[in-house]
Amino acid sequence: MDFSIRAANLEDCKDISRMILELAEYEKVSDKVKVTQKDLEQDGFSKNPFFHGIVAEVPEQHRTKEGHSKIGYALYFYTYSSWKGRAVYMEDLYVMPEFRGKGIGKALMSKVAQLGLAAGCNQLDFTVLDWNKSSLDFYIGLGCLDVTVEIGYHCMRCQGEALQHLAQP
């Protein structure tokens, strides 16, 4: 299938927002999504962006029946590992279901890896749901390591009231 991968721009935020909701629905957490198209525009395309993105796009003849040509995306940002130095964190990797199995997800992830290496990163980090066997198999097939199994790390989060409480002096 013919597709291209390119850097996301401000005009892509509407489609990225749509696909974020599709991903959340797939992951059965639609009620957790609070980010809006406006948030994406501000947070990704301001003077000091909090994230970067890439999109997968198909030519007009391969558009979805709804008319979408942007059919996948990845969001990422740079971070730092106290063991390895520079790192890139991939927040999302998503390809619309009807376009899966065509190399688009691998191409998106490969592009994030290329961008990370170009920025001097030594590792690519991301999370995947424990029940998502097809994604786990996909990542392991690419040579990725499940650090929860291999090293014993758990991904932790502090949010909402707990974050507010933690921030109190």
**Cβ partners under 8 Å of residue 125, min gap 6:** 79, 87, 88, 89, 90
Which one of the listed residues 73, 89, 94, 139 is annotated catalytic?
139
Phi, psi (deg, nearest 5) at residue 32:
-85, -15
Token pair in block for residue 25? 């629905």
- Residues whose CB is less than 8 angstroms from the CB of residue 20 and which lie 6 or more positions away in sequence, other chains included: 33, 35, 92, 94
Q: For this structure, is 73 an active site residue? A: no
Q: Which residues are catalytic?
A: 139
